C-alpha cells in the first residue's frame, strides 16, 4: 500500500490469505465470504485503497466512477461452473457460483460495498495495458459528472492473484502527480512485489 508491504504469507491458499487480509482491513462485511476469489481480490484492493481517503466528504456517490481490467476475465469461476454442469447425471449448477461468471460483478460488489453510483466498466486485455486504461479513464473525466475514478487491474486465476488499485481524482493543482500511462505503468511494474 503506497509502497509499504502490509501483509505477506505465500504459503496459504488464496481464500485463506484473503480471510487474513479481511481481518487486517477490519472489514465487517459477511457478504465477502460468499464472493468468488476475483471479487474478494477486487474488494480487498478497493478497501485498502480507499481506507482513510474520506471520498464521501468530496464527492457524491454518482461522481465516482469505476474502471477495471484484467486478462483472465472470470475464468476461475467459469471453470467451477463448467465442472458443475459437465455431468448430466449429477447436474446441480450452483447459483452462487454462476452469478460470478462475469468479471464486472466485482465492480458491482465494490459499488454495493461503498455506495458508488457513477459509471462502471470492466475491460479484458491480453496483458496489463496502461495506455488504453488511461485513455478510457481520461474519457470518463470529460463528463462533468465524473470527479473521481477507482481504477485498476484485478486478475485472478487458479490461485494466482495480481491486483493494482488506485483512486484517480480531478485536480487543478499542477503539483499533483499527473495521470498518464507512464505513471500508471510505474505504479504497476515498480511497486509490485517480485
Partner 1 sequence: MSQLANELKTEIIKALNLEGVSPEDIENDAPLFGEGLGLDSIDALELIVLLDKNYGIKIDSAADGKAVFHSISSMVAYIESKK
Q: Which of 34, 53, 58, 192 binds partner 1 (CB under 8 A)?
A: 34
Q: Which stretch binds partner 1 (CB under 8 A): 27-35, 60-68, 132-140, 181-189?
A: 27-35
Binding to partner 1 (CB under 8 A) within 88-117 occurs at 92-96, 99
**Parallel, antiparallel, or unpaired: how do β-strands 148-157 and 64-70 relate?**
parallel
Least spacing, CB of residue 159 vs partner 1, in Å: 18
Contacts of 100 (CB under 8 A, 6+ apart): 35, 36, 38, 39, 74, 77
Smaller CB distance to partner 1: residue 21 or 164? 21
C-alpha cell at 192: 509490485
What is the C-alpha separation between 62 and 24, in angstroms, rounded? 29
Residue 3 binds partner 1, judged by CB under 8 A: no
What is the C-alpha separation between 169 and 150, in angstroms, rounded? 9
Residue 12 binds partner 1, judged by CB under 8 A: no
C-alpha cell at 153: 487491474
Least spacing, CB of residue 105 vs partner 1, in Å: 11
For 144, which DSSP code?
T
Smaller CB distance to partner 1: residue 93 or 115? 93
Question: Contact, 43 vs 35, CB < 8 A?
Answer: yes
Count interface residues toward partner 1 (CB under 8 A): 10
Residue 86 binds partner 1, judged by CB under 8 A: no
Least spacing, CB of residue 124 vs partner 1, in Å: 24
What is the C-alpha separation between 101 and 79, in angstroms, rounded? 9
Residue 52 binds partner 1, judged by CB under 8 A: no
Residue 20 binds partner 1, judged by CB under 8 A: no
Question: Contact, 145 vs 62, CB < 8 A?
Answer: yes
Smaller CB distance to partner 1: residue 56 or 96? 96
Smaller CB distance to partner 1: residue 17 or 128? 17
Backbone angles phi, psi at 30, to 5 degrees: -65, -20
C-alpha cell at 191: 511497486
Q: Interface residues with partner 1 (CB under 8 A)?
A: 30, 32-34, 92-96, 99
Amino acid at each position: 500500500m503506497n509502497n509499504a508491504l502490509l501483509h505477506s504469507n505465500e504459503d496459504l491458499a488464496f481464500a485463506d490469505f484473503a480471510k487474513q487480509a479481511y481481518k487486517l482491513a477490519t472489514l465487517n462485511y459477511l457478504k465477502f465470504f460468499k464472493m468468488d476469489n476475483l471479487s474478494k481480490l477486487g474488494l480487498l484492493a478497493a478497501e485498502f485503497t480507499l481506507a482513510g481517503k474520506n471520498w464521501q466528504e468530496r464527492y457524491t456517490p454518482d461522481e465516482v466512477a469505476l474502471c477495471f481490467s484484467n486478462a483472465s476475465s472470470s475464468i476461475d469461476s467459469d471453470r467451477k461452473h463448467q465442472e458443475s454442469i459437465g455431468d448430466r447425471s449429477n447436474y446441480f449448477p450452483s447459483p452462487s457460483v454462476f452469478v460470478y461468471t462475469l468479471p464486472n460483478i466485482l465492480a458491482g460488489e465494490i459499488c454495493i460495498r461503498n455506495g458508488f453510483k457513477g459509471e462502471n466498466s470492466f475491460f479484458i486485455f491480453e496483458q496489463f495495458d496502461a495506455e488504453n486504461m488511461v485513455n478510457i479513464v481520461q474519457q470518463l473525466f470529460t463528463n462533468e459528472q465524473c470527479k473521481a475514478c477507482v481504477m485498476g487491474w484485478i486478475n485472478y486465476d487458479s490461485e494466482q492473484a495480481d491486483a493494482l488499485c488506485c483512486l484517480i481524482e480531478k485536480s487543478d493543482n499542477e503539483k499533483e502527480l499527473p495521470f498518464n500511462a507512464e505513471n500508471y505503468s510505474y505504479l504497476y511494474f515498480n511497486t509490485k512485489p517480485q
